[in-house]
Amino acid sequence: MAIRRNLPAIRRNLPAIRRNDPAQYDELADEWWRHDGEFAALHWLAASRAEHVPPAPAAGAVLVDLACGGGLMGPHVARLGYRHVGVDIGLRGLELARAHGVTPVRGSVLAVPLADGCADVVLAGEILEHVEDHDGVVAECARLLRPGGVLVLDALASGRLSRLVNVHLLERLPGGPPRGLHDPALFVDRDRLLATADRLGLDLELVGLRPSMREAIPWALGRRASVTMKPIRSTAVVFAGYGRKR
């Protein structure tokens, strides 16, 4: 079985754009639902997020999915029984999300056009490293959550090791992010994140994540559809945050 060589080819054909340019998501819109495409790792992270979302506590419970993209959380959220509201600025992504059971809302993650306390769960996956105002995003998560509501996030950590792995290494490997997708200047200070969460009434615990190496190799050979994200002690590269609003 041939290794998935289509990924570098796709990357070579992309126009040169500045790092962290939102236009890149429009350029890659057709990749959202390809399990072997440019956003493959986002499928892995979506499945990992879902493992930390409890089943809906009641009929009509709401899950707000910030920066929902093409709606990769859709199948997971439907299984858990929530009304799935996806917020994003990208119209092409929201159109795809709607097709996968998401109620789309166009808006910024820094000024979400939804009511205070409307959500039983807020997901903030792969957002913080794409905005300058990390505190503002966390504040919106806290505002949207009802007391006792669940927050699940994941992000890229600040620091030299994270820059080396997430930019210089993974952008060159199948399953890694498209070149230019991330700006390491925006990677997340974990101590500040925890302090901000606590100040806003969120009890948050951080856990490191990495893909299963045992599964990544068969995936690269086309023998698996997905790869499991494994929890690890170190949060220095990729991490998840799990918490509740007090």
In a domain, 212, yes or no: yes
Give the C-alpha separation, 150 to 80, whole Å.
14
Is the pLDDT at 16 greater than 60, yes or no? Answer: no
168 burial class (0-12, 13-18, 19+ CB within 10 angstroms)? Answer: exposed
In a domain, 1, yes or no: no
pLDDT, residue 21, reads 79
> 206 pairs with which residues across the strands?
241
Give the C-alpha separation, 62 to 78, whole Å.
11
In a domain, 112, yes or no: yes
Domain span holding position 202: 6-11+20-245
Pick the residue with more confidence: 3 or 48? Answer: 48
Q: Extract the tokens encoding 188.
A: 């997340």
The CATH number of the domain where 83 resides is what?
A: 3.40.50.150
Pick the residue with more confidence: 15 or 178? Answer: 178
In a domain, 153, yes or no: yes
For all residues of the chain together, what is the average pLDDT? 91
C-alpha triplet 237, 244, 118: angle, nearest 5°? 115
Look up residue 112 and give its DSSP letter.
-
Residues near 190 by Cβ (< 8 Å), separated by ≥ 6?
157, 158, 206, 235, 239
Is the pLDDT at 13 greater than 80, yes or no? Answer: no
Give the C-alpha separation, 184 to 1, whole Å.
35
pLDDT, residue 96, reads 96
In a domain, 56, yes or no: yes
Counting the structural domains of the chain, the total is 1
pLDDT, residue 168, reads 87
Model-level pTM?
0.90
pLDDT, residue 7, reads 45
Is the pLDDT at 76 greater than 90, yes or no? Answer: yes
Phi-psi category of residue 104: left, alpha or beta, with phi > 0 → left and psi -120 to 50 → alpha: beta
